[in-house]
Amino acid sequence: MEKNFKLKFLQCKESDLSEIGLDKTYTRKAVEKHSFKTLKIYGLSCAQANIIKQTALSSGTDCAVHREVITGKIESSDCILSGSIDELKKIAEKLKYQPLKLSILSENIKELLANTIPAPINIRDIVINWQEPYIMGILNVTPDSFSDGGLYNTIDKAIEHYKELIENGADIVDIGGESTRPYSKPVSSEEEINRVIPVIKAIREFDKSTILSIDTRNAITAQKAIEVGVDIINDISATEWDEEIVNSAIEHQCPIILGHASAPPEVMQDYTNYTDVVDEIFNYFYNKLDLLTSSGIEKCNIIIDPGIGFGKTTKQNFEIINRLEELKTLGCPILVGHSRKNFIKEITGTTDNTVLDEATAILTQKLIEKRVNIIRVHNVKLNNIAKKLCKSFF
């Protein structure tokens, strides 16, 4: 009996090419020939789509378009273009000389292929370069948050927990005074301010270096929090709840985290009927980025959060996690907050925080593989261990 050939699938790296004996001066270029990407390009005219398809074929790959593109019976078509990085670069170079504004697409493709890591963010004298994920610890000073409501709603308790988060390796601490769990009711900005501002002031009395974020939808809360030492705005409504929050971000040139939610918390779980959840999140942020950068917020100061659990089903949450690379093409750092959420409870069949924290850490490992930039969690210690174990991925 003849022996079968030995073979396997491979995610090609320079070290793999060196190992088989390829000329070392050629390995970096060769990686581009053996690393494949798939791009989706939206809203092309039939003429544009036909040119891209023919360009792809001439470059040794292919492009999927609507079946009626060749007849011109439709107004527009999306396309799916696949190939090695080297092939996509060649296609982009050929499109540079094509009509119908395809030279713009050429630059877009080149830019997308070049920018694998988001631009750094400067916070005071700290440079966040996104070379590895940052762990964001959660400090809820609320009476009714879904997993720790009432545990840290005095200054002393909040400070004690804050110190624990820092000791366990939190890079950022996110301070919130309003629960936005499913079906929660909004609190007044006055009440929210009374909860968070004294805690922030107390923290800044002994810790002036740690990066702090304020978890709020309200512009006045964000403004007052920045005035007493907060560095980042974390708005789960992506400026939809209170548009004035944009002005605080512009005035202080501070980073802002934009969260995706299908609706306000009290009704968001009634709105989970997406045609394609990741596609809709992508398009939402694409338009939001255009709006906010036009308003004066620098793109490097925008972080996006796909809103795990905010108007999504369990299946949709896992689909978002599985397809995070699609959102990374927006060019912004990505934050994921999955800690102890209902979809984990549904899968594990428990509300025990010890088990939920373990399950959260398992998902954190997946997120690190996906190159997520900020991981927002309750149990910093456990998730920091997961980060250390995954260090070899960086």
Out of 217, 328, 341, 370, pick the active-site residue. Answer: 341
Q: Which of 181, 371, 376, 387 is catalytic?
A: 376
**Could you confirm whether 208 is annotated as catalytic?**
no
Query: Contact, 379 vs 148, CB < 8 A?
Result: no
Place of tokens 């273009």: 81
Each as own residue / partner, the long-range contacts of residues 322-325 (CB below 8 Å, 24 or more positions apart, any chain) are 323/278, 324/367, 324/370, 324/371, 324/372, 325/370
Ramachandran category for residue 118: left, alpha or beta (phi over 0 → left; psi -120 to 50 → alpha): beta
Amino acid at 153: N
Of 219, 50, 212, nearest to 137 by C-alpha is 212
Mutual angle of helices 85-95 and 27-34, in 10-degree steps: 80
Other C-beta atoms lying within 10 Å of the C-beta of residue 371? 18
Cβ pair 343, 314 in contact under 8 A = yes
With a CB cutoff of 8 Å and minimum separation 6, the contacts of 285 are: 238, 258, 260, 304, 327, 330, 332
Chain position carrying tokens 């270029």: 29
CA distance 58 to 275: 34
Clarify whether 341 is annotated catalytic. yes
Q: In 3D, which of 214, 247, 215, 243 has the Cα closest to residue 229?
A: 214
User: What three-state secondary structure class fits 292?
Assistant: helix
Q: Which residues are catalytic?
A: 341, 376
